[in-house]
A and B are shown apart, each in its own frame.
Chain A
């Protein structure tokens, strides 16, 4: 019989409300709360329930994920359910984070459900199956039913249909598909052409993602008076990575004080290193100035070519980082730079 494990937060795991949102992750050898509903509907059995407080996951994601993956190491399971998270943002993000990790570590299908407004949808729809869900727990039965029906289909080995037919959020994963009605491309092309000519609605078979281009800024009038900041997606951080920036698919950034240094010291000197997993770190670890060129900027400062180098540099990791996350981090960093009256930024990538 197929085995499933369910992830719930402190509330749906019947620990309590917001006051216990710091509840540390635990695994129980039983069906708790909503897990019972999954068990009823599933062509199989829910063997365990994992419960974790939303705040605990939110502020200690790496630790929480590691501990949960540890719980699962010796368990046999064929499918993993997380949520439904409705419109609860922290819960949605938690379901996505743990779901993604479970999928990567154990290569099983992971299914969740969230309301379309839940930020977890945008962050994780590419990584796991997320079904559009209700706004609140009133929709619990409907949402779980959708998730389990799809889970049953996966377990039975039945061929999965495109996202629009199965109902989960599109994941940006495109495969070729033989049309049931065998409409040839020449009919589809003519149909689309006539509709476009006549100003009628048509559906492109390859929707072009919206391209968000940024206009090039005006040049700086007097560089010798400008304060310039260094920003990198090359993952240069202090040796202990105090902001716990992820090595890939980053969601965090950090800023590091450099007003008192002429150049960044390297990893051997226990100062700066790179945590970027997308390139060979050898050169950056040997001389982090090659990614964040503090030494060159100091020289320009001395020469009077630039006014000054800003006292912090900003860092995150670019590899695998989604466009949405990159844009959010970029906006947050820009906000600080504007508040501190920075005129220009040199952005180094790798």
Chain B
């Protein structure tokens, strides 16, 4: 399989009469773009905004981030989700780089939604403050979940994907500035030289702990909850096979943008043929019932063993209950003779004094830690808020609260906020970007 990602670097984004990408400038005909958004009758109100790094803008509740892309040949960017099934990861896909489409609720947020500050001291807490963003801020008639803490955010997330495909289409007939090429020979048909290197897999544990449909990450449109661990080509992940879900405190989440650009996978590719033989991805999941957790770990270890794996990177999209899946997977691999390194965040509490993961095992002796979900963060007011600031306190965002006897509400009258890192949009960057670690103080 060979994937070519054709990159177009976006220098600026502006509204104009015609939606087009020319000389690094993405111009958007707002009316036409909104027509794409309104294709779903559940969208009741929608607007587009443009935000750039350094803007004194706060976005909340942020639900999703997507990189705008165009699949050569015209197939869906997200097979099985925005169109019919086709094989992702083989062929050429064009991408608008240094930007994303952000989806923000006009009013209502939920447990899984997050906050982004584009400028000021809050900007360092999310990756998306570094990007130019087209912001879709919208409301829906999904009355059944308006007052629910857990939201599927279906209409908004799908509108975001439609909009990103619409913007990606501007690249249709253009030649990319740069082509990233990702290719792996079949596992059994590699050169002696590559075969002599240590065999490495990437084990991914995407969020799949909701038993009701509509909340979990999707694999080619298939709910990852009733899924057993399976072997995938890393190109599939980089090319739209996986989309983000709508469950889990936000700092622990992988957005769809994260899947499309998964830094841990890209880094393993860099080492392939040099220091390691990158076998591919074992796509696992995260479960609720103990037996499901054990079953998934057993499948991962078996797949790794059958593939002749020497070492594995394991990354967990979540914390708390799912730490049991994370540690079980690491232990099962170590027991199978596979050397592991884990990547995840921690939850030692606001005071930092509690046990960092729900379960611990001395076999998990090589862990990269990307943040404390409960770290308290105070941020000053911003000039502009896109969405509704009150949602942080009102709607049960994982890192916000309406009232606390000592701290008061998360949202202050002057527009400043006090919150837990939990609600920083994909803030712990477990996909690999995080420049945060954990230290003893």
**Smallest Cβ-Cβ distance to A165: which chain B residue:** B439
A169-187 CB mask vs B (1 if < 8 Å, else 0) is: 0111111111100111111
- Say yes or no: A206-B439 contact (C-beta < 8 A), given A175-B375, A176-B375, A189-B432: no
Question: Is there a chain B Cβ closer than 8 Å to A196's Cβ?
Answer: yes
Count of interface residues, chain B, beta-carbon cutoff 8 Å = 51
Question: Is there a chain B Cβ closer than 8 Å to A188's Cβ?
Answer: yes
Query: Is the CB–CB distance between A177 and B368 below 8 Å?
Result: no
> In the complex, what distance in Å separates the CA atom of A185 from the CA atom of B438?
12
- Say yes or no: A174-B439 contact (C-beta < 8 A), given A186-B432, A196-B366, A197-B311: yes
Question: Is there a chain B Cβ closer than 8 Å to A163's Cβ?
Answer: yes
Query: Is the CB–CB distance between A177 and B438 below 8 Å?
Result: yes
> In the complex, what distance in Å separates the CA atom of A202 from the CA atom of B369?
14
Q: Which residues of B contact A164 (CB under 8 A)?
A: 439-440
Which among B37-45, B339-347, B411-419 touches the partner chain?
Answer: B339-347
> In the complex, what distance in Å separates the CA atom of A255 from the CA atom of B360?
35
Which among B67-75, B225-233, B351-359 touches the partner chain?
Answer: B351-359
Question: Is there a chain A Cβ closer than 8 Å to B264's Cβ?
Answer: yes
Query: Is the CB–CB distance between B430 and A162 below 8 Å?
Result: no
Query: Is the CB–CB distance between B433 and A189 below 8 Å?
Result: no
Query: Is the CB–CB distance between A173 and B352 below 8 Å?
Result: yes
Which among B137-145, B152-160, B241-249, B267-275 touches the partner chain?
Answer: B267-275
Residue of A163, A170, A177 with most chain B CB atoms under a 10 A cut-off = A177
Count of interface residues, chain A, beta-carbon cutoff 8 Å = 37
Residue of A163, A178, A182, A205 with most chain B CB atoms under a 10 A cut-off = A205
Which among A47-55, A71-79, A101-109, A208-216 touches the partner chain?
Answer: A208-216
Question: Is there a chain A Cβ closer than 8 Å to B371's Cβ?
Answer: yes
Question: Is there a chain A Cβ closer than 8 Å to B348's Cβ?
Answer: yes
Q: Which residues of A contact B361 (CB under 8 A)?
A: 208, 211
> In the complex, what distance in Å separates the CA atom of A206 from the CA atom of B437?
9
> In the complex, what distance in Å separates the CA atom of A173 from the CA atom of B365?
19
> In the complex, what distance in Å separates the CA atom of A84 from the CA atom of B273?
56
Query: Is the CB–CB distance between A176 and B421 below 8 Å?
Result: yes
Partner of A179, one of B198, B432, B435: B435
A73 to chain B, nearest CB (A): 24
Q: Which residues of B contact A173 (CB under 8 A)?
A: 348, 351-353, 440-441
Question: Is there a chain A Cβ closer than 8 Å to B97's Cβ?
Answer: no
Query: Is the CB–CB distance between A193 and B311 below 8 Å?
Result: yes
Q: Which residues of A contact B371 (CB under 8 A)?
A: 176
- Say yes or no: A208-B360 contact (C-beta < 8 A), given A172-B440, A184-B435: yes
- Say yes or no: A175-B435 contact (C-beta < 8 A), given A206-B346, A208-B362, A208-B365: no
Q: Which residues of A contact B286 (CB under 8 A)?
A: none
Residue of A172, A176, A197 with most chain B CB atoms under a 10 A cut-off = A176
**Smallest Cβ-Cβ distance to A210: which chain B residue:** B362
Query: Is the CB–CB distance between B263 and A175 below 8 Å?
Result: no
**Smallest Cβ-Cβ distance to A209: which chain B residue:** B360
Q: Which of A47-98 contact B (CB under 8 A)?
A: none
> In the complex, what distance in Å separates the CA atom of A177 from the CA atom of B421?
12
- Say yes or no: A178-B368 contact (C-beta < 8 A), given A173-B351, A190-B267, A196-B339: no
Query: Is the CB–CB distance between A205 and B351 below 8 Å?
Result: no
> In the complex, what distance in Å separates the CA atom of A183 from the CA atom of B432?
10
**Smallest Cβ-Cβ distance to A172: which chain B residue:** B353
Q: Which residues of A contact B276 (CB under 8 A)?
A: 194, 197
Question: Is there a chain B Cβ closer than 8 Å to A2's Cβ?
Answer: no
If A176-B436, A186-B264 are given as contacts, then 14 extra A-B residue pairs at C-beta distance below 8 Å, sorted by A number, are: A163-B441, A173-B348, A176-B372, A177-B437, A177-B439, A178-B436, A185-B264, A185-B429, A185-B430, A185-B432, A189-B368, A190-B271, A208-B365, A211-B362
Q: List 19 A-B contacts (CB under 8 A).
A: A162-B439, A170-B440, A171-B440, A171-B441, A174-B372, A175-B372, A176-B421, A185-B368, A190-B268, A192-B366, A193-B339, A194-B275, A197-B310, A204-B366, A206-B357, A206-B367, A208-B360, A210-B362, A211-B361
| A residues apposed to B, CB below 8 Å | 126, 160, 162-164, 170-179, 182-190, 192-194, 196-197, 202, 204-206, 208-211
Minimum-distance CB pairs A-B, first 7:
A186-B432, A162-B439, A205-B369, A206-B367, A170-B440, A186-B263, A186-B267
